[in-house]
Amino acid sequence: MKLTELIEKIQQTDFNLVCQANKAVNQLLTIRNWLIGYYIVEFEQDGEERAKYGDKLIKTLAEKLKEANVKGMSFRNLNLFREFYNAFPEIVQSVSAQLKKHPVEIMQTPSAQLESTDLKHLSKENVIIASTQSEILSLKLSEKMIESLSFSHITLLIPITDHLKRSFYTIEAIKGVWSVRELKRQINSLLFERSGMSKKPELLLKKNISLPEIPSRLVKDIYTFEFLGLPTKDAVEESDLETALLDNLRDFILELGNGFCLETRQKRILIGDEYYFIDLVFYHRILKCHVLIDLKVDGFNHGHAAQLNTYLNYYKNKVKENDDNDPVGILLVTGQNKTLVEYATAGMDKNLFVSKYLLKLPSVEKLKALITQEIKNI
């Protein structure tokens, strides 16, 4: 055997087993979330005990689990798990089958454990017995969904109430090996409706096949990191270029002095039901405002500016103190052989302040020069 063949075998073995490990993590996370949703619904239907908490059950539960240091059990997540169970009650058989592959002890009540992990207490009332061809296909699809899609994919499917439409996106996401971002894009671009209007929908669907994700990205989402107890800031996959640019940009701005205080990098914020990340957040003690920096390793488009404006409005409404000035945003965009730096002031009409911040913040020319040089270095 040649050395090159040995290296290839090791690489292939590593790739395959890492894929399997990550796939198992995603499957167990999905199963856990479905079970938690089931337990919540079961408790809500209990009657007597549920009456003590009423509509505050999820809030109370989230607080108690936080005290018990159980990760990933926020009010939003618990509500989502309940919606997951209500949207996909038919996957109980798939959950049971997966638990047989990955045996764990499941608590039925605080005082009693199931004798086995096959969810016998669910089978009497909740298991859908597949008696028609459509029911059999539905059960097979749910099993494939657990095996192939991450829970982040499933969160995009839950709000779709039309069963046919949801099945369509589930099938296409599996067939097309879609990333979470791609699934979201296809839903927002009304692929289901466009397919119905197309004379040859198969031609439309053929264009939407993606390459499989590399193993390191298969677990790079918020839910998986919370499930594994890892720092959520690591949930953002960054390219080498982005990392180098942000590292040097951070150091460059801090070296300027002039009142810059670094608050955080990859600041996670929750807007509605979605998480977003702001690349760099500073507080300027002279200007008395936050400075948000968003980097896009891409050409400029209006969506980038709109996203930064969304971050500014979030900070203005949720973070800004009474004696603070409105936040300032800096958008850095790296296109092919050119760099764009755009300052945003979130609609500030105080001319004196605008003039002042132009003096205190890095100049457009300096930022362009820094980014251009870093791109050349990399």
pLDDT at 265: 87
pLDDT at 300: 76
Please choose, from the candidates 194, 202, 158, the residue with its C-alpha nearest in 3D space to the C-alpha of residue 176: 202
pLDDT at 372: 78
pLDDT at 198: 65
Count of CB atoms within 10 A of residue 253's CB?
23
Per-range mean pLDDT, top range of 79-88, 102-111, 115-124: 79-88
Q: Domains in the chain, ordered, with CATH?
A: 3-227 (no CATH), 238-377 (3.40.1350)
Q: Is the model more confident about 279 or about 101?
A: 279
Digit-coded pLDDT (tens) for 134-190:
666 677 888 889 888 989 899 999 999 898 899 989 998 988 888 888 888 888 888
pTM reported for the whole predicted model: 0.65
Q: Cα(346)–Cα(313) distance, rounded to whole angstroms?
A: 7
Tell me: pLDDT of 315 over 90: yes
Q: Is 141 left (phi over 0), alpha (psi -120 to 50) or beta?
A: alpha
Give strand ranges (E) for the chain: 107-109, 112-113, 260-271, 274-284, 289-296, 328-335, 338-344
Exposure letters 79-97 (e unless 16+ CB within 10 A, then b): bbbbebbebbbbbbbbbbe
Please choose, from the candidates 290, 297, 351, the residue with its C-alpha nearest in 3D space to the C-alpha of residue 326: 290
Contact criterion met (CB below 8 Å) for 292 and 308: yes
* pLDDT band (50, 70, 90) for residue 127: very low
pLDDT at 128: 44
DSSP annotation of 190 reads T
